[in-house]
Structure formats: C-alpha cells, structure tokens
Structure 1
Amino acid sequence: MQVNETLNEGLKRGYEITMTASELAAKVDEKLDAARPEVQMKGFRKGKVPKALLKKQFGKSVLGEAMQEGIDDSLKAHFETTGDRPAMQPNVTMKNDDWKEGDDVVVDVSYEKLPEIPELDFATLTVEKLTTEVEDEAVTEALDNLAATAQNFEKRRKGSKAKDGDQLTIDFLGKVDGEAFEGGAAEDFPLTLGSGQFIPGFEEQLVGVKEGEEVAVEVTFPEEYQAANLAGKAAVFDVTVKAVSEPKPAEVNDELAVKYGAEDLEALKGQLRERLAAEYANAARTVTKRNLLDALDGAVSFDLPPSMVEAEASQIAHQLWHEENPDVQGHDHEKIEPTDEHNALATRRVRLGLLLAEVGQKQEIQVTDQELQQAVFRQAQQYPGQEKAFFDFIQSNQQALQQIRAPLFEDKVVDYILELAKIEEKTVSKEDLQKAIEEMDEE
C-alpha cells in the first residue's frame, strides 16, 4: 500500500492511498484460500475444488470484499502509525472512476483529526458550591400545599352563587336534535367548575348557578370529538343543580399525614424535610456542575474540528426552533441556519465534551451495566403502562442507549474533577438557589 499526504491544514488531513493490482490479487487469493476448505462443487470433493475454478466462479464477488478490506486495513495501519483519531467517519472516495480489473485501486481519504488536548491541573480550579438548609418555613409551605391538594368541599349556604373552583352536584340529560344520546346523562355527578372535565363552554355556563336551579346548557361538540356521531353537533343539556360546595383546604393534622402514607404529622414533616433537602441538593449540584464547566472553559483552549462544531450548532438551532414551534412535529421544514449564538454555544459544548471525554478515557472511568440499567428503568417509569415497549426500544437502539449513557459518564467525570478542585462552599437561601437555576436557564 502506498499512502501519500495531500492535505495537512489545522486538524484537516487528506491522503491518497494506492492498492496495487498485485496487492489486490494477493488479497483475493488469500480470501479464496480461506474459503476453499468449505467449498463444495459438483464433481469435486469438499475442499478439493481447483483454485482456478474457484477464482472463475467466485473471483468477481470476492474482489469487492478484498478491495474494501484492503483499504480498511490500510486506514487502520495509518491511524495506528500516526496516532490520529478521526473526529467523524473519514470520507473515502474512489479516485479512478473508470477502474477495471487489473488496475491499481486509488482512493482519496479525508478527515478531521481530534485535537491534542492539553493537560490541566484540576487542583488549580476554584469552584463555588452552593448549599441550602431546609428551613421550618419551607416545610410548613410544603404542608400547606399538600393540604390544598387534598382539599375537601363544604356545602355553601343555600342561595349562594357558584364560583369558579366550586364543586357542583348535578343531574344532567344531553340531547342532540331533541333526542337523548348514549352517555349523555348522569345523576349526582360531582363537577368542579374550571376543571375542564366537560367539553368547552359547558362549565362556564354553570358559573353563577344556585342550588335547586334548572339550567339549559347549549354547547357544540368539537369537530375532532372522539364519538363520531356527536362530532361538530349542537347539543342541549338539561341540568339540575342539587348542591353548590366551596373548596376547603384539608387541615394540617395526623389525618392528613395518614392520607399521604405517613404514621403521623411529625413523620410527614420529616419526609417532607428529606424530600426538600434532596431537591435543594440536586439543584445545588446542577449549579456546581455549571460553575465547574465555566471554570474548565476558561482554563483550557485548543483547536476544534470544524465539522463537529457545525454539526452541534445545527442540532442546537434545530432543537430550539422546534421548541419555539411546538406545533411542527415532523422535520420536513425549511433548513434552520445556526446563528452566531448557536455557534458560540456549540463551540463551548464541543470543547468541554472533548475535554471530559479525554479525562474519562485517561482515568478509565466507566459506566457500569448496573448504572445504565438503573437509568433506563428511571426513564421507563415516565411511560406508565409502556415500560416493556420502552425497554425493548432502548435495547434495540444503540443510539438511544448512548444518549442515556453519555450524561452518566459526564457526571462521573465531573465528580472526579470536583474531588481534585478547590471547593468554596457558600450557604444561600432557597430563593437565591432558585434564582441561580433560573439564571442558568436564561443563558
């Protein structure tokens, strides 16, 4: 094999690789010899087919494989010799398009190599770590929120008008064109006004009704209504209001605690305190990680493969465009051109990604199968009733599996660096912690 350099500019590399006709023929002979012991042909015993006949019968089909393997072996040897690591899949093109059997094979190979990443003394980094204590007021607030969620309804004084948020007890009968329809009637039905339980326009017409009042509610079923026989049709519901009740938060006591699975109120307070502490710790961890990445970004600089930055910027622009246009589900839209802001963010992400990957590789940091399975299980819980389908999809999709593994690996590398860096702890209020998170989201 002959390898001639054609491009050496920054991280860009280009080579012309020549596989001579004799080298290709030798590779074909090698593959035929390897297959010969297992070949059977009429008139010959297994493994005794003459090589000339094998070549005539299978030579052309083996030729392509031999050519591909020869180029692949040459590239592998080249990377081992130079130490280059391609940032993305090398581009390999046939140079002599009019190639015929007996000619040399000449290909052009181009790629961008990964940069040399400078060593960094992590002990020189200073990273601010926020800590937040769980105040009694926060526990009280959490208890009040639980009580509001577990609200009860108390009957209003007779003659009171129903307000948004009140619960009505009603009998109703729905009709289309004067005829009652299936599923359009109920007795003693509890309906909370503003809950959106009924089709648009129904609940709004019941605001202001009183106990004992009879009301004709006129609505039109949506065009996309699930029952085709009712879709788009006008209907009248004869409604009798049997009771009007107002919401009342549940009392903060042992009964509330039992309702949420605790032994008593003190046990519930303890559970809430632990939950809040975990939430604060997770939020603080997010801010600390961001502070570390900021410190790393400012401490190290090296050339980046343009193709990686361009690909990352395009992905960022595409993702943000879909967030701004949630109604567009597919990808058959106009090309989204990255802005300077997208390019700057992509540059940071690629630089930090390469740095963390290098540290992880040198320190032999690994994500265990158990850690990966636990992460998959946590994500599967987000799809109740479809857990098995989610597991099957992940196991059969290496790209999806890598998307779960990548943040686990990154967090383990971050933990390694944080152990070496100088940590400055700062105690802040939960409001300041929340503000720090919001400022991150705005960037």
Structure 2
Amino acid sequence: MQVKETKAEGLSREIEIVVPASDLEARLQTRLFEIKDQVKIKGFRPGKIPMSHMRKTYGRSIMAEIVNQIINETPRSVIAERNERSAMRPEIQMTEDESEAEKVLRGEGDFRFTVAYETLPTFELKGTDGIKIERPVVEIDETEVEDQVKRIAESARTFQPKDGAAETGDRVTMDFVGKVDGEAFQGGSATDSNLVLGSGQFIPGFEDQLVGLSAGEDKTLEVTFPEDYGAEHLAGKPATFEVKVKAVAKPDEMELNDELAKKLGLESIDRLREIVRGQIESQFGQATRQKVKRQLLDALDADYSFELPSKLVEAEFQNIWAQVTRELEQSGKSFEDEDTTEEKARDEYRKLAERRVRLGLVLSEIGEKAGVTVSDEELQRAVIEQVRQYPGQEQQVYDYFRNTPDAVQSLRAPIFEEKVVDHLLATVDVTDKTVSKEELLKDDEDEAVAA
C-alpha cells in the first residue's frame, strides 16, 4: 500500500492511498479459500469447487466487499500512523471512471482513492493557578420557604358554594367565548372553567370585571392582550369575552397543618417544608452552578487561542442556527423583532460556535490528561433520566437507546464535560459571595446559551 500526502494547509490534510492490484488479489484469494468449504454450487461437491470457478462466481462481489473494508478501515489506521486525529469523519473520494472501477473489481487494476480531513489542533495546556471564581450563593430565608408552602396550600384549597356576588379570592365557574374583531379565536373558549379571582391567571382586566357577578349572570368583558403576549396574532389586540357565570364558591380557611400535608400525601407539615426547602436549594444550586461554570469557561476561553477545524465549527453553527430559527418560527417573530438582522445574528452565533468548539477541545484535552472517564453506570443513569422525561412512552424511549448505540454515546459528552468542570473547580481559587435571589437568577437564560 502506498500513502502520499497531497495537501497540508493549516489543519486541512489530503492523502492519496493506492492499494496495488497484487494486494487486492492476495486478499481475494484468502477470502475465496475461507469460503470454499461453505459454498454450494450445483455440480460440485462441497470443498471440491475449483478456485477458478469460485473466482468466476464470487470474485466480483467479494472484491467489492474488500474495497468497502479498505475504505472503512484504512483511513483510520493511516491517520493514526501519522500521529494525527481527524476532527470529523474523513471524506473519501474515488474514481468516477466506470472502466477504472471495473478493473479494480476484476482484480486487474490498483485501487486508488483520496482521503480529505481536518486534524484536531495540538496545543499546550496551561495552568489554572491564576483562575479566580466567585461563587454566588443565596441564604434561604424562611419566609421564602413559607411563601412557597402557602402557594402549594392554595392549590389544594377547598371551596364551598356561595350565594351572592363574587369577591376577590372566590372561585368562579364559567363558560366563555373570546372574540377578536368579532371572530372567535382558537383557544379562546372554555366550558366549566374555574378561576380564582385575584390569582392573575387570566390576562389583565379579565378577573376584575368578574367581581360582583353572581351565578346565572352573563357579561361581555372588554380586555386588551398584552403587547408581549405569547401568541403574536393576539398580542396588543383588543378582545371581548362573552361570559356566563355558572357558580360562585368561597374558599375554606387555609391552615398550614399536618392535615393539609396529609391531603398532599405527606406525613406532616414539617415534611412539606423540608421538601420545599430542598426544591429551593436545588433551584438555587443549579443557578449557582451555571454562573460558576460560565466564569470558568470564560477564563479558559480567554487563555486559549488556536486554529479550529472549520468543518467542526460549521457543524456546531448549523446546530445552533437550526435551534435559533426554529424558536423564531415557533414564536412568530423575526430577527428585526429581536433588534438585529439575520447577517448580524449569523456572525454572533458563528462566534458562539467557535467558542463552543474551542472550549470543547480544551475540556476534552484536560479531561484526557486528568484521566476523567464516564462509567457504564453513569451512562445508564443518564438513559433512565431521558426515559423519565417521556411519561407513557418509557418503553419506546428505552428501546430506542438500547437499539441505537450512537444515541447512548451522545449522552457521554455532557457527563464528561461536567466531570471535567468538577475536576477544574477543585484546582482553581473559588470564593463564595452572598447575593440576593434576584441577582442569582437574573440572565440565566443568556448565560446558558453562551456557555
């Protein structure tokens, strides 16, 4: 086999590989000998078929298998022998001349093909001694826990039928039909809908106009959808709702006690408070982790600058761009609505793609040098977590992961990254800073995208 480099520009490589006809012939003879005792040809006893006849019958198809095997295995081994790592699957180019291809399949010509790929960049890892991380933490106030417990209690509150006009805090059962420009719109009608007045569940102005109505009364409400309403075709538009009040109920007294907790399936109100505190701690902990990770990645991004594989960047950009355009389409918005243009957005997200690729390579190198690995048990837990996200479809999702090894492996990357982040956080200077809940939670969405 002959290997010749035909291109070496930056990270781009192209090599020409030639497998002589004599090598192909040797492989073909070996393969024919392996199967001669297995095949059956009319007129010949098993194992007694002449090799010339074997070749005539099976030679072309076996040679095609040999060529495919060479294409699948040789580029990887050649790249490894060159002490290089391909950033993505190499591109294989073979002759388009049918007569040359036919010669190869007949064993009369050399098999010649080119392999084009980009190498992963090499760079020297830097120390982390100078990285300083400020970890924002929130001291959980008992009033925060109590407020959430009360909100849970509100959701479990019972009501009793009431005669007379509805007041704030009462529950109204009603039918309604919403109209814009005199036409009913999708999702704007309901039957036997329950609404606690003052809960803020409906658009501004809706609940206020129900105060004072009694069971059996009808009223046409006039409201205006907020400018930032989720459905763009309704945002900012005036609307009417024809409402028929069917029942009014007043709330029972709400007491935060063990009886309330038992209605929720818990043994005591203290257990409810414990669960709520744990949920708050988890929410704050995730936000803290996100901000700490963002600081760490920013520091790494500032420390490293090297040429990136263009195809790897392009693939990452296409993934990001597909998500961005899909979200815009779903929201019914345009780039102009986001105070930008498509060209500026492309530039911004391409830079984000470059950052992600660069940091991915850095984290991968750090993890490899530190011996970070992902165990089968960790992968299995990740699969179970994915399955739980699809209630009612658990078996289908589990079967998908069981039958799709690449899908399981796709879960490895985020686990590996988080373990490398943990490894780095143990080596850098981290100091805690007490912040407010609002400060901790602000801008989390933007930071998640940038990370």
Query: TM-score under structure 1 normalisation?
Result: 0.78
Code of the residue aligned with 2:216 in structure 1: it is E
Alpha-carbon distance in 2 for matches of 1:114, 1:238? 65
What pairs with 1:345-356 in structure 2 (closer than 5 Å)? 345-356=352-363
Tell me how far 1:439 sits from its aligned partner. Answer: 5.3
Question: Partner residue of 2:228?
Answer: none
Matches within 5 A, 1:370-385: 370-385=377-392
Q: Does 1:152 align with 2:155?
A: no
CA distance 1:215–1:296, change in 2 (3 Å): closer
1:118 aligns with 2:124: yes
Alpha-carbon displacement from aligned partner over 1:125-159 (angstroms, at most 9, x marks no partner): 22222222211221122122223222333555x44
Change (3 A) 1:249 1:113: farther
CA RMSD, 1 decimal: 3.4
Q: What is the 5 A alignment of 1:25-424?
A: 25-95=25-95, 97=97, 98-99=99-100, 100-101=102-103, 102-156=108-162, 158-160=163-165, 162=166, 166-168=170-172, 191-192=194-195, 207=210, 210-211=213-214, 213=216, 241=246, 243-247=247-251, 250-326=254-330, 339-424=346-431
Partner residue, 1:12:
12
- Secondary structure of 2:426's aligned partner: helix
Going from structure 1 to structure 2, the CA distance change for 1:281 and 1:30 (only over 3 Å counts) comes to: same
Aligned letter for 2:4?
N
Q: CA deviation at 1:301?
A: 2.0
1:326 match: secondary structure: helix
Answer whether contact 1:14 1:110 (CA < 8 A) is retained.
Answer: yes
Greater CA drift, 19-28 or 110-119: 19-28
Q: For this pair of structures, how many residues does the alignment match?
A: 391
Q: Does 423-432 or 71-80 show the bigger shift?
A: 71-80
Residue 207 of structure 1, CA deviation:
4.2
Q: 2:253 and 2:408 mapped to 1: Cα distance?
A: 45
1:135 aligned partner, one-letter code: D
Q: String of CA shifts for 1:254-305, please: whole Å, max 9, x gaps.
A: 3333333443333332332233222222221121111111111111222110
SS at the partner of 2:330? Answer: coil
CA contact (8 A) 1:254 1:264 kept: yes
CA–CA distance in structure 1, aligned partners of residues 270 and 74 of structure 2: 71
1:429 and 2:436 matched: yes
- Name the CA shift for 1:419/1:155 in 2 (closer, same or farther; >3 Å): same
CA distance in structure 2 between the aligned counterparts of 1:400 and 1:340, rounded to whole angstroms = 30
Looking at structure 1, the residues matched to 406 and 251 of structure 2 have their Cα atoms a distance apart, in angstroms, of: 49
The runs of 5 or more residues in structure 2 that have no matched partner are 176-190, 199-205, 221-241, 333-341
Of 271-280 and 255-264, the range deviating more from structure 2: 255-264
Q: Give the letter for the 1:132 counterpart.
A: V
Report the AA paired with residue 9 of structure 2: E
Partners of 1:20 and 1:212 in 2: how far apart?
A: 92
Secondary structure at the aligned position of 1:84 is classed as coil
Shift of 1:435: 2.2
Deviations 1:5-60 (A, max 9, x none): 11100000011212222222222112212222323333433223221111111111
120 and 14 in structure 1: CA distance in 2 versus 1, 3 angstrom threshold? same
* Aligned-partner SS, 1:151: coil
Distance 1:38 1:159, change over 3 A: closer
- In the TM superposition, residue 427 of structure 1 has moved relative to its aligned partner by 2.1
- Percent of aligned pairs sharing the same letter: 36
Distance 2:276 2:48 in 1: 79
Alignment partners' CA distance in 1, 2:387 and 2:307: 39
Distance 1:149 1:244, change over 3 A: same
- The code of the aligned residue for 2:44 comes to F
2:404 counterpart letter in structure 1: N
TM-score (norm 2): 0.76
Q: In the superposition, relative to structure 1, how do residues 207 and 35 fare at CA in structure 2: closer, same or farther (>3 Å)?
A: same
